[in-house]
Amino acid sequence: MKKMKDVKNFESDVVFENKKVQMKYKPRKFFLWILLIVAVLGVYGSLHFYGKYQSLKANPNAEAEKETKKLVGVLSTLMELPQNETPTVATISDKEKLKGQAFFDKAENGDILFAYTNSMKAILYRPSVNKIINVAPITINQPQNINEGVERTQPVVSTPTINDSTTSASAIKAATTPIKRK
């Protein structure tokens, strides 16, 4: 019976500045405190990430907008950017698909393409060396309208190309990936 009592009242000797101090631990209380702390941290973490989930659910583009603002801020230190315009931002993920297009000759995987459609400007930026690789005007090919004198109720959507008649929007889309929404 004495052994059982020793297990419940675990005693430990601690030496502190040449003085022996005897401390008593109660394993059950210690375990319950640890369990309580873990539970509180778990509830806090769950609530924190649930709040982030709800904010992303309410505004799914929030993370992409933050990333775009951050990248535009970095790029604006290197050159003057068009005012009052948010660019379309894409990351080059496969430079092989862009071969043969003059604008992308020096492009590498991981480079970022900024397309300012209102200002008609495209900028290729390399974040690894914090350098602008290429800048070119965007030309928009307007499709031939059979009924030229007829007024349209809906605008014609055109395919932008970047300073090269052989550049196609599908090739650019295939070789780039937009900033991911988390």
Answer whether residue 114 shows pLDDT above 80: yes
- Give the pLDDT confidence score for residue 67 in this predicted structure: 87
Query: By the 8 A CB rule, do 59 and 87 touch?
Result: no
Q: What is the pTM of this model?
A: 0.53
Answer whether residue 47 shows pLDDT above 70: yes
- Give the pLDDT confidence score for residue 155 in this predicted structure: 41
Higher pLDDT, 23 or 96: 96
Phi, psi of 141 (to 5 degrees): -85, 120
Q: How many helices (H) and strands (E) does the chain have?
A: 4, 8
How far apart, in whole angstroms, are the C-alpha atoms of residue 92 and residue 174?
Answer: 9
Domain boundaries, the chain: 2-58, 62-143+158-178
Share of the chain above pLDDT 90, in %: 19
85-112 burial code (b ≥16 CB/10 A, e <16): eebebbbbeebebbeebebbeebeeebb
The tokens describing 40, both together, are 């509180």
| Closest C-alpha among 81, 109, 111 to residue 97 | 109
- Give the pLDDT confidence score for residue 153 in this predicted structure: 42
Position 46 confidence tier, pLDDT thresholds 50, 70, 90: very high
For the segment 150-166, the average pLDDT, to the nearest whole number, is 44
Kindly report the number of other CB atoms within 10 A of residue 127's CB atom. 13
Position 43 confidence tier, pLDDT thresholds 50, 70, 90: very high
Share of the chain above pLDDT 70, in %: 63
Higher pLDDT, 59 or 33: 33
Query: By the 8 A CB rule, do 180 and 91 touch?
Result: no
- Give the pLDDT confidence score for residue 150 in this predicted structure: 43
How far apart, in whole angstroms, are the C-alpha atoms of residue 112 and residue 95?
Answer: 12
